Structure 1
Amino acid sequence: MSDQLDTVFSALADPTRRAILAMLLEDDMAVTDVAEPFEMSLAAISKHLGILTRAGLVAQEKRGRVKWCKLQPDAMREASVWMQGFGQFEPVHLDAFERFLERELTQPDSDGPSGT
């Protein structure tokens, strides 16, 4: 995997970041509006947004005194292509991808990553 793909999957591993991406599917949002539904500080949300921005999943732009966030769906392309290589995935939609990750991350794996 490329470093960029590693960065994207790492960013998607956190449920708060996936929720932020789902919110941004609707429209661009001010950082303060992104933070509103979460029970965490604005600084914590800003850290999550920084990770999403470094992964290329979100772009941030200052308009006047307000910082706006915009979804960058093309950043998911490499991850989508990689997952489609397994043949069991259709084109990735963020909601479906989030459900897939939640299932994978919550299933107990007593055999370890290699299945041994």
Structure 2
Amino acid sequence: MQLNQAIGQHCLLDVYQLTSGWLQDAIAIEEVLVQVARVAQAHILASHFHTFGGSGGVTGVLLLAESHISIHTWPEHHYAAIDIFMCGQLLVEVAVAELQQLLPDAQMQIRWLAREYLPKTYIRQNS
């Protein structure tokens, strides 16, 4: 019997060497993340992106029926933190491959997490 059952894949990406112009452009960032979601066949429910003033970065999220894609950028460090979490049968690997194609000059450190749950028989009940 398998104790843990994966209900989704969660991918954390540290993305380096991006141009500071892109890291400050909420519209361009949203276009990239929407393309990533579409290629993975995710269903976008809503999106919200905010640009911080001056030379600040962008924070944003695509709310998906299958979970989310989020980003936080630091233009002064040429860095973005991207989070892709998708449940069900969607392949997060496809989303990551598309992101790599859309940002070909970026260096990425990628960490994978299987989001798992324990069957009820293995969860302690509160007394």
Task: State the TM-score bracket (shorter-chain normalisation).
Answer: under 0.3
- What's the TM-score, normalizing by structure 1? 0.27
- What's the TM-score, normalizing by structure 2? 0.26
Q: Quick one: higher RCO (CA 8 Å, sep 6+), 1 or 2? A: 2
Q: Flag the structure with larger Rg.
A: 2
Q: Which has the higher strand share?
A: 2
Q: Which has the higher helix share?
A: 1
